[in-house]
A and B are shown apart, each in its own frame.
Chain A
Amino acid sequence: MEEVTIDAAISSLPGALSSVTEILGRLGVPEKTVRELELAVDEAVTNIMLHGYTSLEGLIRLSCQRDGDMVRIRIEDEAPPFDPTEVPEPDLGGDADERPIGGLGIHFIRKMTDEIRYERTEGRNILILGKRIKTSDGR
């Protein structure tokens, strides 16, 4: 398992995403799957940075693990409890430019992953994003 710890400041997001994609590449995850997981991690981490921590102080730990054709990214933070799996699906239809935009991030996370688990342990939010590597993607 490889991990990286970052400051919960929005400016550290690009670096965090490039670390994650690098690690996934080293784990032999195909490019397309890496790109999809990157979007899911971006949404989850941006949300913690902008809405989780109320001050600029805070850390986010990201770890990646591969079990056969399953790759999992674990995102941990110490912000107040927040379970993204309970966020309802956004309304994606209707008079689109007037509709509320909330919930788009979690919608992307759901679309980009095959498994989402949330737990609150010892004052930490733990979000695990899992994705199955399809054989058609190679490897």
Chain B
Amino acid sequence: MMIVTERKDDVLIFGVNGRLDGYAASQVAVEIERNLRDDDRSVVVDLDGLTYMSSAGIRVLLALQKKVKARNGGIALCNIGEYPKNVLSMAGFDKVFPTFPSREEAFREMRKREDSLSLIADLKNPMTERGSARFGFETASRAPASLRVQGDHSALARNRISEEDISAERLSEIEYSLGLGALGSTVEDVMPFLGEMMTLRSAMIWLPAGGHDTPDFFVPAGDAGEVRAYTAFNLSLEGAFNEIADVGATDEDGIALDALYRAIFALAKERKRDCRGILATAIWGVVADFKGMGRKRSPAPMNGDSTPDPEDRTATNYSGYSIVAFGIGIDRSADLSGYDQSALDAILAPQPEGGDANGLYLHNHGAVFRNAPWNPEADLIKGIERCFADGEFVDMRHLLNTTKIYRAKVGIAYISAIKRR
């Protein structure tokens, strides 16, 4: 058995030939799992040269069809030989899968579906192209949004965090935030584990420092009022998102996080939004290239030693997985004098971390989930909640600016003030 995967104009094409027995079917299932992005909805399965198939093959096709149907998509089979045709009809499945005589016809059919789906989306929301992505904006809250800062980012970098710097935050009071923290019962308990954390809606996701490189995903059951996260540094959004952007990369490799922020800043200026140089964003999307890192050690001095750990934990690449993220972007070329300077200084990490030569400073944390299907119709909050409820949690990191996404709903808050706690 041979399986060849190809992607053309948003249609995923699997070519399966040879013999599809119970063993080969398990390999095909793995190959599908590896290649199917969370936003794929149109799949062609070309059975040219397939000479044998058992019920295990039907199961794999059926599982694939169910998965994409749940996303308003579908599969199309083509080039079905005599043997698999008989097997399908014996099982009564010949009418279940749309079949086409050639790969071109199957592809055209799938393309037609993609075109009509994107036409509907375009009509609803006119798109503007900028920096290798298309953007459609929807107004959300008109109330001004602000950022609340707790702790000092540069103290983290110097590993100078002591117990007095830790604050206990009620999870119920921080909806969108990122920082460095830990879950635990006392301040002493959590000190060795302070690691990258983010809260999104009611969930907390964090990567404990020390020990194993295993992130933790936590949604408090029932009343979250009493659950506290201990944080050494925390940036949280006060207020709501002002706009929701529907973003689709025009480059087939996706759009990088820094390019995304740059485009949002530029479009804000053009569209005369009240943007003073700082944005907070929440992202739900499909990641093209996940580049992240995490601290190996807690920022507290260990045995009196504060020297930085040169090695960080890096994440493996998760392409095609769902991503949820929260973060901020600062356009340092803008006039930032209207913001509280000490609060602004507390946000900024010493260079080069987060900064770049063109004056863009980013700090974003992101988590990846698998099998939380992308739905262009769903809104940002539904999408995030769907990842938490249905997705398989995979990883969480501080996002590098080179992280790329294929498509996303991006909640944008134009920050009017930063408050220090």
A and B together in one complex: yes
- Contact B69 A97, beta carbon cutoff 8 Å: yes
Complex Cα spacing A13 to B96, Å:
28
Other-chain contact of B91, A10, A17, A92 (Cβ < 8 Å): A92
Question: Inside 8 A of B59's CB, which chain A residues have their CB?
Answer: 101, 104
A128 at interface (Cβ–Cβ under 8 A)?
no
- Contact B22 A97, beta carbon cutoff 8 Å: no
- Contact A96 B90, beta carbon cutoff 8 Å: no
CB-CB contacts below 8 Å: A19-43 with B = 35, 38-39, 42-43
Main secondary structure of the interface of A (DSSP, over half): helix
Complex Cα spacing A64 to B62, Å:
33
Question: Inside 8 A of B92's CB, which chain A residues have their CB?
Answer: 92-93, 96
Looking at the assembled complex, report how far the CB atom of A16 sits from the nearest CB atom of chain B, in whole angstroms. Answer: 10
- Contact A10 B96, beta carbon cutoff 8 Å: no
A123 at interface (Cβ–Cβ under 8 A)?
no
A107 at interface (Cβ–Cβ under 8 A)?
yes
Other-chain contact of B24, A14, A45, A96, A107 (Cβ < 8 Å): A14
B21 at interface (Cβ–Cβ under 8 A)?
yes
Nearest opposing residue in chain B for A96, CB measure: B96
A118 at interface (Cβ–Cβ under 8 A)?
no
B267 at interface (Cβ–Cβ under 8 A)?
no
Looking at the assembled complex, report how far the CB atom of A43 sits from the nearest CB atom of chain B, in whole angstroms. Answer: 6
Looking at the assembled complex, report how far the CB atom of A37 sits from the nearest CB atom of chain B, in whole angstroms. Answer: 13
Nearest opposing residue in chain A for B97, CB measure: A97
**Stretch of B50-58, B157-165, B303-311 on the interface side:** B50-58
Looking at the assembled complex, report how far the CB atom of A14 sits from the nearest CB atom of chain B, in whole angstroms. Answer: 5
A108 at interface (Cβ–Cβ under 8 A)?
yes
Complex Cα spacing A96 to B260, Å:
44
Complex Cα spacing A38 to B83, Å:
12
- Contact A97 B62, beta carbon cutoff 8 Å: yes
Other-chain contact of A17, B21, B62, B87 (Cβ < 8 Å): B21
Main secondary structure of the interface of B (DSSP, over half): helix
Complex Cα spacing A75 to B119, Å:
56
- Contact A101 B58, beta carbon cutoff 8 Å: yes
Looking at the assembled complex, report how far the CB atom of A42 sits from the nearest CB atom of chain B, in whole angstroms. Answer: 5
Question: Inside 8 A of B69's CB, which chain A residues have their CB?
Answer: 97
Say which size band chain A's interface belongs to.
20 to 34
- Contact A14 B21, beta carbon cutoff 8 Å: yes
B382 at interface (Cβ–Cβ under 8 A)?
no
Other-chain contact of A39, B23, B62, B87 (Cβ < 8 Å): B87
**Most chain-B Cβ atoms within 10 A of its Cβ — which of A14, A92, A111?**
A14
| CB-CB under 8 A for A46 and B56, given A10-B23, A14-B21, A17-B21 | yes
A136 at interface (Cβ–Cβ under 8 A)?
no
A105 at interface (Cβ–Cβ under 8 A)?
yes
CB-CB contacts below 8 Å: B5-48 with A = 19, 21-24, 26
| CB-CB under 8 A for A108 and B19, given A92-B92, A97-B65, A97-B69 | no
Complex Cα spacing A45 to B55, Å:
12
* B327-365 vs A, Cβ < 8 Å mask (1 yes, 0 no): 000000000000000000000000000000000000000
Other-chain contact of B58, A11, A17, A35, A104 (Cβ < 8 Å): A104
Complex Cα spacing A50 to B25, Å:
12
Nearest opposing residue in chain A for B93, CB measure: A96
| CB-CB under 8 A for A49 and B22, given A39-B54, A43-B55 | yes
B112 at interface (Cβ–Cβ under 8 A)?
no
Question: Inside 8 A of B212's CB, which chain A residues have their CB?
Answer: none
Complex Cα spacing A81 to B87, Å:
28
CB-CB contacts below 8 Å: B92-128 with A = 92-93, 95-96
Question: Inside 8 A of B87's CB, which chain A residues have their CB?
Answer: 39, 108
Other-chain contact of B54, A49, A97, A108, A111 (Cβ < 8 Å): A108
Question: Inside 8 A of A111's CB, which chain B residues have their CB?
Answer: 90
Looking at the assembled complex, report how far the CB atom of A12 sits from the nearest CB atom of chain B, in whole angstroms. Answer: 8
Question: Inside 8 A of B54's CB, which chain A residues have their CB?
Answer: 39, 42-43, 46, 105, 108
B66 at interface (Cβ–Cβ under 8 A)?
yes
Nearest opposing residue in chain B for A104, CB measure: B55
Nearest opposing residue in chain B for A11, CB measure: B23
Question: Inside 8 A of A39's CB, which chain B residues have their CB?
Answer: 52, 54, 87
- Contact A46 B65, beta carbon cutoff 8 Å: no
Q: What 19 additional pairs, Cβ within 8 angstroms, besides A11-B23, A108-B54?
A: A10-B22, A39-B52, A39-B54, A39-B87, A42-B22, A42-B54, A43-B55, A46-B21, A46-B56, A49-B22, A92-B92, A96-B96, A97-B66, A97-B69, A97-B96, A101-B59, A104-B55, A104-B59, A104-B91
Please list 8 pairs of residues, one from A and one from B, whose beta carbons are closer than 8 Å in the complex, sorted by A's number. A10-B22, A13-B23, A14-B24, A39-B54, A43-B54, A97-B62, A97-B69, A104-B58
